[in-house]
Structure formats: structure tokens, C-alpha cells
Amino acid sequence: ESISPLYSLPTEVRYSPPWQDLSIIGIAGSSGSGKSSVAMEIVRSLNLPWVVILVMDSFYKTLTPEQHHKAHANEYDFDCPESIDFDILVETLRDLKKGKKANIPVYSFSDHQRQPNTTTLYSPRVIILEGILALHDPRIVEMLDVKIFVEADMDVCLGRRILRDVRERGRDIEGIIKQWFEFVKPSYTRFVEPQRPISDIIIPRGIENTTAIDMVVKHIQRKLQEKSDNHTEALRKLGLVAAAV
Ligand code: CTP
């Protein structure tokens, strides 16, 4: 009985763990542009195991009692980069890339703070990182395989945000509008829109744009295939192709 060459290889080349090829897709865009729906549609269309959505809201900084008070009065700026703990987010993504598990904070929009519980994430194959500033930090941009920017008219965004924040985030209309003009809209111009030119793909009209989403999914599939081909090629160069296929 012949023994497969697989069994004579050292463990580290014989086994290719899922995180070895972890791909990260960043989705940025205005609040209410439809990033979360686009992310869910990508997950559905990719139809692969080990695909997770990581929402950047989980990484809002903890507020001091004074900031907390301001947040409840819609006077705290949640749209500037300083409000997000990018260091922890970078560390989390690096850990996942190394195959370590990560504890992701669970965020409550009605309390403006992290909940005591966390979600444990074990090295997935694809992470979809979704947030208004997903393409802001160069350390994160460097880790991204695909950079997406979702666009929608700002009045559509405001309309969606009002409906969602009233229904799901425990807010009132006056407060939403105050926060929008004070922080959300100015930050869009200052920090969100400038991410547009560095994106690989722009999706106009968000979730309604099924043609663009189809293209995005095909692009991601191609990227994943390229990565897998490169991995196979590297093994072939080592003379281990029999083990790789
Ligand atoms: N935000 C808030 N209160 C908090 C934390 C965040 O109002 N305690 C708001 C910020 O003002 C920011 C928004 O949450 O503008 C970010 O979420 P958003 O992008 O609107 O939601 P998603 O579902 O991630 O994206 P989309 O609406 O595009 O689907």
C-alpha cells in the first residue's frame, strides 16, 4: 500500500489552517448609506463558510461620565476618528490574522456603551469590516484585500437614519436631527468622503444597486481565488503540490 506524500511532510506545511489566508474586506460610507445591508448581501452571495461581519461600532471608546451625559443629549461626536479605538481594532485584526481568537465587544446604541458580554470570534476565512471609517486608518487599509465605498444621497441617508434610530436605537427625531447637522454631516465631508478615492469599488445607491453588488461579489471571489492560487503556487515551488491539491 502506497503512502501519500502528505504524511511525510512537516505539520506546518501539511495543514493549511483557515486563518492562514484570512481576507479582510472593508466597507465604508455615510451613516445610513446601506453599508450593513450591502455587507449582509455579500455574505449571502459569497455563500462560503467562515465569513463574518465585524461592525466597527463594537470599537467605540468607553465614555467618561461627562461624555456619557453629552451623548444622551446628542452633544457627543461619534463621527470623528477620535471616538473609535483604532488601536484595539488593529490589534484584534492582527490577532485574527495570527490565528488567535478575539473577544469582540457588544455595543449598545441606547446606552452609548459596550455591554458586559463579548462575542468570541475564532479566526474566520473572510472578515467584512463595516463602518463609516473602515478605510480611515492606514494600519487597517494595509490589511484590507478589498476596499469598498457605499454611496447614497445624503437626504436618503438622513431619512434612513431617522427611521432606524427611532426604531432600533432608542432615539427621538429632534435629537437625531441635532446630531446629524452638528456632527454626522460635517464629519462626512471631513473624514468619510475622503476615503472614497482610496477605495477599489464604489457602490452608488447602496443596496438597491444589485448590479454593483454582483460585481463586488465577483471581484471578491476573484481575489479569494487569486490568494488560493498563490498559496498553491508557493507549495508547488516547495515541491509540495501533491499535498496542496
Ligand atoms: N452613533 C450614535 N450613537 C452611538 C454610537 C454611534 O448615534 N452611541 C452613530 C454615529 O453618529 C455614526 C453611526 O452611529 O454616524 C454609525 O452607524 P451607521 O453607519 O449609521 O450604521 P450602519 O448600520 O453601520 O451602516 P448603514 O446605516 O450604512 O447600514
Kindly report, residue by residue over 66-106, the tens digit of the pLDDT: 999 999 999 999 999 999 999 999 999 999 998 899 999 99
Q: How far is CA 146 from the centre of its chain?
A: 11
ipTM of the complex: 0.96
Identify the DSSP state of 125: S
Domain CATH code at residue 131: 3.40.50.300
Is residue 128 included in any domain, yes or no? yes
CB 31 less than 6 A from any atom of ligand 1: yes
Number of H helices and number of E strands within the chain? 10, 7
- All three cell numbers of 133, joined, read 471609517
99-135 per-position pLDDT tens digit: 899 999 999 999 999 998 999 998 788 999 999 999 9
Cα–Cα dist 112/67, whole Å: 10
CA of 53 to the centre of ligand 1 (A): 15
Residue 128: Cβ within 10 Å count? 27
Is residue 14 included in any domain, yes or no? no
CB 171 less than 6 A from any atom of ligand 1: no
Cα angle at 141 between 135 and 147, to 5 degrees?
60
How many separate domains does the chain show? Answer: 1
Is residue 161 included in any domain, yes or no? yes
Q: What is the pLDDT averaged over residues 15-24? A: 66
What pLDDT is recorded for position 4?
46
CA of 79 to the centre of ligand 1 (A): 8
173 burial class (0-12, 13-18, 19+ CB within 10 angstroms)? Answer: exposed
Q: Which domain holds residue 140?
A: 22-69+77-215
